[in-house]
Amino acid sequence: MFRFRSNVRQCANAVFRLSTYSSRNITKNTLKRGTIFNQARCFSSTTSFLKSATSAETVNTNSNATISNSSAIQFKVGDQLHNYVVESVENVPELCLTAYKLRHLKTGAEHLHIARDDSNNMFAVSFRTTPENSTGVAHILEHLALCGSSKYPVRDPFMKMLTRSLSTFMNAFTGSDYTMYPFSTQNPRDFYNLLSIYLDAAFHPRLRELDFMQEGWRLEHSDLNDPNSPLVFKGVVFNEMKGVFSSPSSIYVRSLINKLFPDNTYQNESGGDPLCIPSLSYDELKDFHSKHYHPSNAKFFTYGNFSLEQHLKEIDNVIGNFEENAKYRELSLVTDQQRWPKEQYQKLVCQNDPLAAYADKQTTIGVSYMLDSITDTHENFTLAILGSLLIDGPSSPFYEALIDSGLGSDYSPFSGYHKLTKQSLFSIGLQGISKDQCSTVMKAIQMAFKNAYSDGFPSERVDAILHRIELSTKHQSSNFGLGLAMNVNTYWNHDVNPIQCLRVNEHVEHFKRQLEADPNYLKKKVKQYFLDNTHKLVLEMSPSEDYEQKLEEAEKRLLDEKVSKLTQNDRDQIYKNGKLLLESQDANEDLSILPTLNVKDISRSMKKTVFERVTVNEIPVQYSAQPTNGIVYFTGVLQLKPENFPKKLIPYLSLFSQVMTKLGAGPWDRRQLDQEIQMRTNGLGSLFHIVDHPTHFDKFQQGLVISSHCLERNIEPMFNLWTEVFNRIRFDDDHDHLLQLIRISAAELAAGVSHNGHRYAMNRAASAFGGAMKLRELTNGMTSLAYFRLMAGSPDKIKEIVKNLKEVAEIVLNTQNLRCAINAEAASIRPSLNVLEQFIQSIRGDNQKNHANEMKQSFDTSEIVMPTLQSTKNEHFVFPFSTNFLSRSVFCAPFQHPDFAKLRIASSLISSKFLHKEIREKGGAYGGGARFDSGGVLSYYSYRDPQVSQTIDAFDRAGEWLIRTDNYSDQDIDESKLQVFQSVDAPIMPSEQGLEYFLTGIDDDMRQEYRLRLLDVQKADIHEVAERYLVRGSQSLQSGVVMLGPSSDVTANNDKWKVRIASE
């Protein structure tokens, strides 16, 4: 696990969006608990005001509890405590919370506390940070602030606290106009340990020049031991942003915002432009900190059921020595962008996409509008709804005008309504078109706006959005506090009353009143913000054959310019600094000054899973009575026996899971089906799913997981929808639409490679072991990418594709494969089971032959079946990236083997104590580590990595490093246990209670045994498994290295490597 530095321009908008297709993806959350965090840059569709309610997650592990305010109102307006005064107090019943807004008397710092009956407590401090250039100063400062402080003068205490804590979240974000430092945990002592770290980092950071060179940028010799070797640019943020700028979608979105707001801070790249980052000086960074990181410019957020008074006491102890100074708030104010008198048209270039289905259709064009100040929360709530009406779902005007036209592959990146800037924006366009289609697309966009103005929106579509809002305020998911903090901060950062943002019902009622008073209310908004809005930017982006070459040349010119100005003293100092930095990275530090939890803080007994099992019409059904706020959650597994499923259909499983609910079913065409889904449920979700066997790598299980949830009043309509999907998918209604869905999937997968390359590399490397690992690669790896690209570019094959999808449906959608789970309030269990029984009776299949309950098997640990290594060849997939993603996999031992727990601790130890230092600190990669999965595969990986040979060498040395037990202490092992238990004891939502067993067959007894094995791991055990599995020459089964990245001298003309051009 490593710190993923998210530039919030890309990511924060993914929090709180109203998306027609944002179905509950409970299976992914459950199956991936404890794996690497997804680092994908998020380009969401329509963002809503409200999603603080929609995906903010709450945790309640007590199955008998209900979600409610943590207590009655404890403080009243005017109360003073620990140098704070309470300015406002409000109950928000729709979100089951009480909000307290306070102000620090001495510094003017604002504080929002959300009291809620949630054990997953959260803290954040946020500063308004408004850069005046694109050197990435705010981003680099965010890194440096966490590299040691006055109270904790050690190198990178943030990373070290990842292994000294039971946190449920730790990170830091740099946005376009703010920087936020959040964490969450369920443990009170842990909370105040982390609070101390975060507060000292924010207000008393060391800001060492060596850390600036490591995290920001530096000139360094390519060979640290040779002062005559060429100088090159290095630095974590420098390499990170080179990776970001390798993505066409990132280039488009960043340029869109920079160019739509050319006269204020948004004209600058807050994350840092790689060609501007080397212009930042160390003194400029320190000056930026002194101007922005002051309590008078800070906003504090706390959430959960811990004591507000204790929070305030701890914070006051740190900021009480500062004095209020309004200049800090004034310096960081974001000025309004003045409206343009007429539209602007600008062009961009990017690199070619080797995964594009059509090489001659890689142009993107879109139009973006500056809307209204986000300080008007009611207006922006309306704009969020309007944005959803315009683009979400097959009945929306832009879906019909752009997606159904078949002109392109998908909406342009960032399409929809967004509130990441002081003045909100709306963007719409199309990607995957040819250059000569630009005018056609622009005419289609303008006509769609005109049609929306003349025709308005059907009332049932508005009702569907309001239904989703109602459903979202009741839905509970993990880390509610984090989602709430990020949503509120968007407004609060510009001095909007944060409590105003929480009043969901008030905004809904205001919207309804406006619509009732004026039936043309939304039509008038279309005219005001789109037809009559002259502040609009048309942005066209096309690939250039020499894009990468020009970037390299520009970087070389910049480097040559820097080097040409160096004196001999400068060169000597650069060589000396390189040595000093390496010494600093290798130095042993006294970490005893850092607070830590102890392994004894972890209970040796796990919380029991609460559920019951019954049989309904011969179908195995699991149910759990939970405090779900009146929502019924349904999950189904359609289990497929590998031996009974035709191999030729395997490539279609992922596609089938993506389109099965989007083609129309029964009495409904695709538009009608979508409308019914949105009116009755959160969406009908499906996911191809592979589960590793606890002892036999070749006895994995595969199938589809389906999921949905609804309000109690909609139980019957929800299952009626599933009945029609199971029985009568309308494959032949519209082949052109199916082809367009394939193109959308292919475009999304291709766009994701630059953000998730390490996952593709890991899947590919692990596929060398066959079994479940090979199937994962076929259905969610480079092979799958190639297959989607082939289908997207083969319209003449659509009838064959339909034929194969029908065969998949015939095999999969059958009660012989089905098992079900229901999580609901106790009073809703019986009604839900009754409707479920009707559903089972109405779909085809021979229930007497049901084999879907075979997950619960007799797990024989006496025989561990190991795979045969199918290939050790290194593979290089050549992509037009600026950095690399690398991985090597090692097959070790499956879940039930006694060594599994030892290896899990060992992988954490390798990541935090060895690979992080070698790959990130020394190598300059954005991240690197080791991931150990439930199938027994340990994968080394690196992320946005400028190195190749150095990283492979680190992979090779990892096992040897573990064998030398003097490299780490018993304390290090205990810290690795703490890190592992962050995922083992992660909060479980009421909607997820019992689902780990339902999906994987891992029961409480097995989990308890695993728990004890983890807690009992000793240093000798680490040495034993390292020697047995991880050192070459032992019984270790190691794959070759897989790399995704640019052309490399390391792999070219090297018979140990198979080089594949991604476009071939």
What are residue 950's DSSP bridge partners? none
Sign of the torsion formed by the C-alpha atoms of 960, 965, 969 and 975 = positive
C-alpha closest to that of 723 among 731, 715, 733: 715
416 contacts 426 by C-beta, under 8 angstroms: yes
* CB proximity list for 718: less than 8 A, separation 6 or greater: 632, 634, 680, 681, 708, 710
Alpha-carbon gap, residue 520 to 397, rounded angstroms: 17
Catalytic site residue from 110, 209, 215, 379: 215
Phi-psi domain of 1053 (left: phi exceeds 0; alpha: psi -120 through 50; beta: other): left
Alpha-carbon gap, residue 457 to 465, rounded angstroms: 12
- The helix or strand, by DSSP H or E, that contains position 45, with its residue range, turns out to be none
- The helix or strand, by DSSP H or E, that contains position 14, with its residue range, turns out to be none
> SS3 for 722?
helix
C-alpha closest to that of 623 among 830, 843, 837: 830
Alpha-carbon gap, residue 904 to 957, rounded angstroms: 18
- The helix or strand, by DSSP H or E, that contains position 621, with its residue range, turns out to be strand 619-625
Q: What angle do CA 605, 611, 614 make, to 5 degrees?
A: 140
367 contacts 429 by C-beta, under 8 angstroms: yes
Alpha-carbon gap, residue 752 to 355, rounded angstroms: 11
CA of 156: how far to CAs of 161, 206, 583, 892, in Å?
9, 11, 15, 31
Alpha-carbon gap, residue 564 to 780, rounded angstroms: 48
- What the block records as the tokens of 984 is 């083992």
- What the block records as the tokens of 278 is 């080397």
- The helix or strand, by DSSP H or E, that contains position 740, with its residue range, turns out to be helix 735-766
Q: How many helical (H) and strand (E) elements, i.e. helices and strands, does the chain have? A: 35, 30
Alpha-carbon gap, residue 29 to 479, rounded angstroms: 12
Tokens 């019992």 belong to residue: 994
CA of 489: how far to CAs of 282, 337, 387, 421, 589, in Å?
29, 20, 21, 12, 36
Active-site residue flag, 724: no
Alpha helix locations (H) across 278-426? 282-292, 308-319, 327-331, 377-391, 397-398
Annotate 933-968 with b (16+ C-beta within 10 A) or e (fewer).
bbbbbbbbbbbbbbbbebbbebbeebbebbeeeeeb
Residue 75's φ and ψ, nearest 5 degrees, are: -130, 155
Catalytic site residue from 110, 142, 921, 996: 142
Active-site residue flag, 215: yes
CA atoms within 13 A on the CB side of 241: 27
Q: Dihedral (C-alpha) 726, 46, 758, 987: value to the nearest 10 degrees?
A: -70
Alpha-carbon gap, residue 253 to 45, rounded angstroms: 12
What angle, rounded to 10 degrees, do the helices at 1004-1015 and 899-910 form? 50
Alpha-carbon gap, residue 515 to 507, rounded angstroms: 12
Which of the residues are catalytic? 142, 215
